Structure 1
Amino acid sequence: MQGVMGVTGVMGVMGTAAMVGSGLTAGVLFCVALSVVPALFALPPDRYVQTHKLVGRNYDPTMPLIVLTTAVVDVVLALVTPGTAPRSLFAVAAVLMLGVSVVSHLCNVPINRRVKALDPAAIPRDWMDPRPLWRRWHLLRTVLAVLALTVNAVAVVLT
């Protein structure tokens, strides 16, 4: 690939991939925080469970792939990019993207599974509404994603 595109071309493609991946992640999570979460909070429990099952269907297989691929691209860029500052920034972006993944998989996904296991027509009387906790974890991963995008942007500019 290096012979066809040259080192600069490969670095440009990888930098673009890091920007697209972190931008998609930050954009999706920001959109969910800004619009979807308030809408879910406005619903009664049965409608919330029903809607939650519908909303997450296409995010679940797609977002982990985007987040983890972006983290890998950032790791590669941290290893091969010339210059200490851009390399360090790509490493930081990789850690931030991995943070998004960790928060998602260890915090939000278990809550999602519990909600999806509920029958909307038979919400238990002692049901603990997971929305406040889910929102806190979601806001954390949104902040991590926006930081990753920002760090990737600075790193790309410096390369």
Structure 2
Amino acid sequence: MLSALEVVTTVVVGLMVGVEFSVAFVMNPIFNALPEDSTQQAHSHGGRMLGAVMPVWYIGSLVLAGIWAVAGRHHHGTNLVVTAAALLILSVIMSVLLLVPINNRNKAWTPDNRPADWKQQLNRWNRWHYARTAVIITAFTLLVTALV
């Protein structure tokens, strides 16, 4: 049972890392290459779509890592899992305090109502997203290391 939990947790966190990496290094550069109105609309749509899914994914990943840490507390690598869970907690805190407020504003913007500093706000979101992505990549790496 523990082996299945370890694999499921690692796969779920790994897929989340893949999505966030793709947003940072594939989707955002594509969006930013579009004409100005299309850029903002693409970011807004992405914010609505992923904003609905990612909270469940982040919390679910954290819960799975926590269960793994408790269930495997007497096994090799538990310290790595606990550290990964702590990093996932950090990623949730970063999301709630730093990224979600910007995303909530962005997903309601249209070319007619967006603020004059919309590009600066999206750039701030991107910087925090890079940091959060580094945090979850580190958590994923620790989970993989604990698994092997």
Q: TM-score range by the shorter chain?
A: 0.7 to 0.9
- Structure 1, unmatched stretches of 5+, are 1-9
Coordinate RMSD, CA, aligned = 1.8
Larger Rg over CA atoms? 1
Q: Does 1:97 align with 2:82?
A: no
Tell me how far 1:45 sits from its aligned partner: 4.2
After the TM superposition, which residues 15-94 of structure 1 pair with which residues of structure 2 at under 5 Å, given as runs?
Answer: 15-81=6-72, 82-83=74-75, 85-94=76-85
For each residue in 1:110-133, what CA deviation from the matched residue of structure 2 results, as whole angstroms up to 9, or x when unmatched? Answer: 111112232313444x43421221
Q: Does 1:118 align with 2:109?
A: yes
Percent of matched pairs sharing the same residue: 32
Equivalent residues of 2:94, 2:132 under 8 A apart = yes
Instruction: Measure, in 1, the Cα distance between the counterparts of 2:113 and 2:70.
Output: 52
Equivalent residues of 1:21, 1:70 under 8 A apart = yes
Bigger drift between 71-80 and 44-53 goes to: 44-53
Q: Does 1:127 align with 2:117?
A: yes
Equivalent residues of 1:46, 1:120 under 8 A apart = yes
- Structure 2, unmatched stretches of 5+, are none
Instruction: Measure, in 1, the Cα distance between the counterparts of 2:85 and 2:5.
Output: 13
Q: TM-score with structure 1 length normalisation?
A: 0.82
